[in-house]
Amino acid sequence: MANRAQPISALAGIGAAVAVLVLCATLLPLGAVFLRAEEASGLRAADWAAIRFTLLQAALSAFFSVLLAIPVARALARRNFTGRRAVITLMGAPFVLPVIVAVMGLLAVFGRNGFVSHALGVFGLPPIEIYGLHGVVLAHVFFNLPLATRLILHGWLAIPSERFRLARSLGFSPSDIQRHFERPMLRATVPGVFLVIFLLCTTSFAVALILGGGPRATTVELAIYQAFRFEFDLSRAAYLAVIQVGICAIAGIVLLWRAAPQTLGAGLDRVTENQAPKSHVMLVQDVLAIGLAAAFLALPMLALVLGGIGDVLGLPEVVWRAAIRSIIMAVLSAILAIGFALPMAALMARRAWRLGVDVIGALSIAVSPLVIGTGLFLILHPIMNPTQLALPVTVFVNALMSLPFLLRALAPAYLQAERSQGRLADALGLRGWNRLRHAILPRLMRPLGFGAGIAAALSMGDLGVIALFSSPSQSTLPLEMYRLMGSYRTNDAQGAALVLLFLSLALFWIFDRGGRVNAKA
Q: Which residues bind other proteins (CB under 8 A)?
A: 1-5, 7, 420-421, 423-424, 426-431, 434-435, 438-439, 442, 520-521
Closer to other proteins at the Cβ: 390 or 439? 439
Closer to other proteins at the Cβ: 274 or 421? 421
User: Do residues 260 and 408 touch, judged by C-beta distance below 8 A?
Assistant: no
Closer to other proteins at the Cβ: 311 or 418? 418
Closer to other proteins at the Cβ: 382 or 429? 429
Shortest separation between residue 339's beta carbon and other proteins, angstroms: 22
- CA 509, CA 520: separation in Å to the nearest integer? 19
User: Do residues 368 and 397 touch, judged by C-beta distance below 8 A?
Assistant: no
CA atoms within 13 A on the CB side of 383: 8
Shortest separation between residue 416's beta carbon and other proteins, angstroms: 11
Shortest separation between residue 107's beta carbon and other proteins, angstroms: 48
- CA 288, CA 282: separation in Å to the nearest integer? 10
Shortest separation between residue 432's beta carbon and other proteins, angstroms: 9
Closer to other proteins at the Cβ: 2 or 170? 2
- CA 470, CA 478: separation in Å to the nearest integer? 12
Helix axes 351-367, 317-348, angle to 10 degrees: 150
* Residue of 400, 298, 377, 394 lying closest to 26 (CA atoms): 400
Shortest separation between residue 440's beta carbon and other proteins, angstroms: 11
Closer to other proteins at the Cβ: 306 or 424? 424
Rg (CA), the chain: 24
Closer to other proteins at the Cβ: 182 or 418? 418
User: Do residues 96 and 454 touch, judged by C-beta distance below 8 A?
Assistant: yes
Shortest separation between residue 13's beta carbon and other proteins, angstroms: 17
Neighbours of 434 (CB within 10 A): 12
- CA 284, CA 279: separation in Å to the nearest integer? 9
- CA 9, CA 30: separation in Å to the nearest integer? 32
Give the amino acid at 184: P
Closer to other proteins at the Cβ: 399 or 444? 444
Closer to other proteins at the Cβ: 280 or 351? 351
Burial class (CB in 10 A: 0-12, 13-18, 19+), 80: exposed
What region does 272 belong to: left with phi over 0, alpha with psi -120 to 50, or beta? beta
Burial class (CB in 10 A: 0-12, 13-18, 19+), 26: buried
- DSSP state, 461? T
Q: What is the 3-state secondary structure (H, E, C) of 342-363?
A: HHHHHHHCCHHHHHHHHHHHHH
Closer to other proteins at the Cβ: 187 or 520? 520
Shortest separation between residue 40's beta carbon and other proteins, angstroms: 55
Shortest separation between residue 346's beta carbon and other proteins, angstroms: 18
Shortest separation between residue 269's beta carbon and other proteins, angstroms: 24
Burial class (CB in 10 A: 0-12, 13-18, 19+), 51: buried
- CA 343, CA 19: separation in Å to the nearest integer? 9
- DSSP state, 487? T
Shortest separation between residue 419's beta carbon and other proteins, angstroms: 9
Closer to other proteins at the Cβ: 355 or 424? 424
